[in-house]
Amino acid sequence: MRGYLIRRSVQLVPVVLGISLVTFLIVRLAPGDPAALLVDTTLLSPAELARFRAELGLDAPWPMQFLAILKQLATGEIHSFRTGQPVLMMLAERLPITAVLIAGAIALSLLVGVPLGVLSARRPYSRLDDWLSVGALGGLSLPGFWLGLVLMWVFAGILRVLPATGTGPATRLDYTALDMIPYFVMPTVVLAAGLVPPIMRYTRSSMLEALAQDYVRTAWGKGLSESLVLYRHALRNALLPVVTVVGLLVPVLIGSTAVIESVFAMPGIGRLVVEAALNRDYPTIMTLNLLTAAAVLVSTLVVDVLYAVLDPRIELP
């Protein structure tokens, strides 16, 4: 296991470098000048504009700019064009919010999607299975921003039981983590709503295959209870495809945070991505993209490790 983790970690280095190069080329080839978004260039003389661009490092050739950004990323000294703050400090301030949203959405989607998938597989092609399938298709069709606005209108506007936006009471500065929980309820539900349908469908299909195996028939023949057969014998082997789909949904979930955090005005990583893209903040975009790529790569590594944990017959190379 240790050797496998070391090899996979070493393999991630060229992948991250390639992603950083592609990201740099995309943001640099995009039309527009970031200097024009930061200052009114009509008020500067050509010499002042050239000096301002030199301060941002935009006057150097592209290869030199790329190497300079890589060096700044490696040393942690990369600064935002827009605010001048260290990007790592900005990430440290916003990362906990996004991490809580993603972790809460994954946990909630598993708690809801897996039992629904087991229930659907236990009674295949029944009326209950049909309704659950229709609900899953409906959940896949709902845009996250629309669902967020509807929940905001119902629970914050009509019922007034949940706050609409933000991460804490605006009238207080000394609020605690408990005070922040109501602000995370609706965003977490919206993010989880996009994960529940695929998790439920994959659990259903995997459970149908597992329930047809001989070891499950043997468990039924021993007179074991239904819950013991379903959750201890069948579900453990049926979880492998579910783990895979959760790993594949991590990039989608990270992308969804940009929309959800903007809808609910939450100062997280997703909202920072939108702000950096609108302002052509190259250093921030590069850092955020590498962070996202690293999160996706780590999630695939975790999925491989969980495969071996859930099924001892699988040996990691």
Q: 313: pLDDT confidence band, cut at 50, 70 and 90?
A: low
Task: Look up residue 28 and give its two tokens.
Answer: 């640099």
**Angle, alpha carbons 80-86-90 (nearest 5°):** 90
**Cα Dmax for the chain:** 87
Select the more confidently predicted residue: 227 or 203.
203
The residue written with tokens 């000394």 in the block is 174
Euclidean distance between CA atoms 24 and 50, whole angstroms: 22
> Average of pLDDT values for 26-32?
75
Euclidean distance between CA atoms 39 and 274, whole angstroms: 20
Q: 280: alpha, beta or left, given left = phi > 0 and alpha = psi -120 to 50?
A: left
CA dihedral angle for residue 45, residue 47, residue 53, residue 57, rounded to 10 degrees:
-170
Euclidean distance between CA atoms 125 and 117, whole angstroms: 13
Select the more confidently predicted residue: 280 or 112.
112
Would you say residue 192 has pLDDT above 70? yes
Helix (H) or strand (E) holding 18: helix 2-29
Euclidean distance between CA atoms 196 and 112, whole angstroms: 7
Q: Answer whether 315's CB lies under 8 Å from 308's CB.
A: yes
Query: Within a 10 A sphere around the Cβ of 75, how many other Cβ atoms?
Result: 8
In this prediction, residue 108 carries a pLDDT of 93
Euclidean distance between CA atoms 117 and 133, whole angstroms: 10
Burial 49-72 (b: 16+ CB within 10 A, else e): beebbeeeebeeeeeebbeebbeb
Helix (H) or strand (E) holding 58: none
Would you say residue 315 has pLDDT above 70? no
In this prediction, residue 293 carries a pLDDT of 82
Percent of the chain whose pLDDT exceeds 70: 94
Q: Answer whether 250's CB lies under 8 Å from 293's CB.
A: no
Select the more confidently predicted residue: 295 or 146.
146
In this prediction, residue 28 carries a pLDDT of 76
pTM here is 0.81
The residue written with tokens 């935002």 in the block is 80
- Helices (runs of H) and strands (runs of E) counted in the chain: 14, 0
The chain-wide mean pLDDT, for the chain, equals 83
Euclidean distance between CA atoms 292 and 235, whole angstroms: 31
What residue ranges do the domains of the chain occupy?
Answer: 94-280
Residues with Cβ within 8 Å of 99's Cβ and at least 6 positions away in sequence, in order, are none
Would you say residue 4 has pLDDT above 80? no
> Average of pLDDT values for 21-48?
75
pLDDT digits (tens, 9 = 90+) for 150-191: 999 999 989 989 998 888 887 777 778 888 889 999 999 999
Q: 109: pLDDT confidence band, cut at 50, 70 and 90?
A: very high
In this prediction, residue 317 carries a pLDDT of 63
CATH of domain 94-280: 1.10.3720.10
Would you say residue 8 has pLDDT above 90? no
The residue written with tokens 């959750």 in the block is 231
